[in-house]
Amino acid sequence: MNHRSCLQRVCGAVALSLLFASCVSTQKRLLDSDTSQLQLRSIQSRAFETTDREKMLRTVMATLQDFGFILQAGEVALGTVTGVKWMNRERLMRITVSVRPRGETQLLVRANIQIGKERVDDPVPYQRFFSALSKSLFLEAQQVE
Amino acid sequence: MMIQISKFTPVWACCLLLMVVGCQTSKPADFFQPVTLQERSIQTRVFETDDEIKILNACADLLLDNGFRIREVESRLGWIDAAKIKVTIYGGIYGAHASVVTRRVSGRPNAIAVRVIFHRFEKVDDAAVYQEFFLKLSQAVFIEAQEL
């Protein structure tokens, strides 16, 4: 009986410590995630000195077509455009671009690239997209912090 | 000291090389290379009109006449997404996709540019397909299509 209660206590302690450890790691990851989210937002977003949302969406569409994307969705009300591109027979790349007002004189353009279900964090494809978009608009893209 | 080269060595070397090449995965940035000017020129024609909706409607009718189904339209963005799927007599699936985007040409208030891109498993590069589309579109709107 004594041996059994001892075993129960050990099991309880292990369970409690596992629970505590998981809480700590989750909290740590939560903070990590916040930092990387800010970084990612900076990679994915640019501000442009214009308020013409429709023109911006049209230019986004033209830019995606230039990169060989198939346009899948586009809506003025939501201010989003989505394009897809097959990387090979199995892998599909998807880009969703949203255009929103930023203050009274700017538009914020945010692009999100995914391969399958995974988000692309590499800054290079975003840089290439925004560089082409700026050229098409004859406007300079401003890094967002 | 002579090194003996087995007749299988080049075969193994080739296999190893193929393995190394096969392991290299393409980066996402590799897929952000703009199309060539020639490609864009094949896909685009300009029509002397200021009526974008008329051009967009004619594009939709033309696609419907050719067996496409309209999947999405956003007239404010000048965009049509169409697809056609057919099952062949041998049971195979034949699919095609068309994406049309219209826009006003900067500096030319009475000009609308139409860009169409066809896909059949992969992007269609055959200029004749695009020429036929634009010829039929010109006939439908009674306006001659000009190259960009």
The CATH number linked to A129 is 3.30.310.80
Residues on A contacting B at a C-beta cutoff of 8 Å: 54, 57-58, 61-62, 65-68, 70-76, 81, 85-87, 93, 113, 115, 120, 122, 124-125, 128-129, 132
Assess if residue A28 is contained within a domain.
no
Domain residue spans of chain B: 31-147
Q: What total of structural domains would you count in chain A?
A: 1
CATH pick for B31-147 out of 3.40.710.10, 3.40.50.720, 3.30.310.80, 3.90.1150.10? 3.30.310.80
Mean pLDDT in each 10-residue stretch from start to end of chain B (148 residues)?
57 61 68 87 94 95 94 94 82 82 89 93 89 95 81
In whole angstroms, how far apart are CA A106 and each of A40, A47, A75, A109, B122? 20, 6, 19, 10, 37
Structure tokens given for A26:
């989750």
- Residues B54 and B60: their CA atoms lie apart, in Å, by 10
Structure tokens given for A90:
């199995």
Helix B52-65 and helix B127-141: axis angle, to 10°?
A: 120
Assess if residue A65 is contained within a domain.
yes
**Closest-CA residue to A57 (of A126, A115, A107, A128):** A107
Tell me, yes or no, if B25 comes closer than 8 A to chain A by beta carbon.
no
Dihedral of alpha carbons A32, A33, A34, A37, sign: positive
- Residues B32 and A130: their CA atoms lie apart, in Å, by 11
- Each residue's pLDDT tens digit, A21-75: 555 455 555 555 555 888 888 999 999 999 999 999 999 999 999 998 999 888 8
- Residues A50 and A103: their CA atoms lie apart, in Å, by 11
Assess if residue A89 is contained within a domain.
yes
Domain with A58, as residue range(s), is 41-143
Assess if residue A105 is contained within a domain.
yes
The answer to ipTM > 0.90 is no
DSSP A90: S
